[in-house]
Amino acid sequence: MLSWDDTPSVSAMRCSRAWVEINLDAIQHNVCQFRRLLRPTTDLMAVVKADAYGHGAVAVARAAVSAGATWLGVATVPEGIELRQAGLNVPILVMGALHHADEVRALARWQLQPTIVTPKQALVFAEALSDACLPLPVHIKLDTGMSRLGFDWQRAVEFVEFVAGLPALQITNLYSHFATADEADETEMRRQHERFKRAIAMLQRHNRLPARLHLANTAATLSDAAALQYDMVRIGLGLYGLAPSPHLKAVLNLKPALEVKARITHLKPIAAGAGVSYGHRFVAEHPMTIAVVGIGYADGIPRLLSNQMHVLIGDECVRQIGAITMDQLMLDVSDIHGLKEGDIVTLLGASPSHQLTADAWANWVGTISWEILCGFKHRLPRIIPRNNARKLYPAEDSLL
């Protein structure tokens, strides 16, 4: 019997069934691709909110900054603090709306830059920072058609003048966000851009225009970088190697940075007529060999992919069968010989002949690739493979 000291480490056991591999070289490549579209003076914000879309915020941020990203974008104060504690010193924008004094003081303590969207919110900031020695740099966000965060663009002068009158705050940036930049029809995107330009003109006439402007997300940058980049672009999905829509895929040579892998835990023959998994949504028409794989919907594999998805075993494309369960899924491996328990299966990733993408999964289940990437649970460890981005993580396989 093994003693406690003889058992494998928890970290090693976490990687025994399924994991996510993060290619930091791909992150760096994608940053360089976007920099090709930009003027040398244009900043590139790497959006690493939601744990870098499930890729690991600290590792991705380090890789992006090393490749030329000059800003980082997060949604919450704790996300920004995590980056500061990891030693990242570039400017960080918190894009969510904050309303609590403790959050405001934490922003100032960790030198994070907030988004201001209402006068009421600005007053909370001013009161929380009333004894601060220096004003806090803030970004004013205008709503030009997203109908989410942001102050009415038509009242931009009124709003900017109000915030500028608060001694605790220093307006350094003005921005907005597109609602439809990933669509082939650019009508609404152009309408929003025109509203942004009109707000700029009004602010200029009143000598209230902030020094810096930013507007373009990944899709807008790919659509028209020259017209939309202003002083900075905010790159989200493109940082991770995916285009926001099919018509934008050819603009840059982007490389997906995430692969999902798992191991075969059981191999078994089944007879003709045998049902597979819950509900017997797959019934064998002939004798088969199936492989049980240690990954399921509790790890972030959408159950709606049942009987639709394929995986890779080596360079072989293999179909998934039966309902995907909480911790496991089944494959038809009847035509593959020499398999054994422990062999690796690639659910997202590439082989010499095939590529399995988050875009394909999103199309099958009727969602978007953003949701697929953000859906992989933290029961799946994030691994940086050996020899990948060695300058950032020189050791062997690193567990994030």
CB 99 within 8 A of CB 124: yes
Beta strands in 236-343 (DSSP E): 258-270, 275-276, 282-283, 288-293, 310-313, 316-321, 329-332
Task: Give the Cα separation of 49 and 53 in Å (integer).
Answer: 7
Q: How many residues belong to the chain?
A: 400
DSSP-based three-state secondary structure for 334: coil
CB 114 within 8 A of CB 139: yes
Radius of gyration of the chain (CA): 24
* 232 annotated to a ligand binding site: no
**Which residues 6+ apart lie within 8 Å of 294 measured at CB?**
17, 18, 262, 263, 264, 265, 327, 328
Give the 3-state secondary structure of 110-163: CCCEEEECCHHHHHHHHHHCCCCCCCEEEEEEEECCCCCCCEEHHHHHHHHHHH
Task: Give the Cα separation of 230 and 213 in Å (integer).
Answer: 6
* Cα 56 to the center of its chain, rounded Å: 9
Per-residue tokens: 53: 């879309």
Residues acting as catalytic residues:
49, 278
Q: What does the DSSP assignment read for 34-66? A: HHTTS-TT-EEEEE-HHHHHHT-HHHHHHHHHH
Q: What does the DSSP assignment read for 362-374? A: HHHHTS-HHHHHH
CB 2 within 8 A of CB 386: no
* 148 annotated to a ligand binding site: yes
For the beta carbon of residue 239, count every other beta carbon within 10 angstroms. Answer: 30
- Return the bridge partners of 290, or none: 268, 332
Residues in binding site: 148, 326
Residues in binding site for substrate: 148, 326
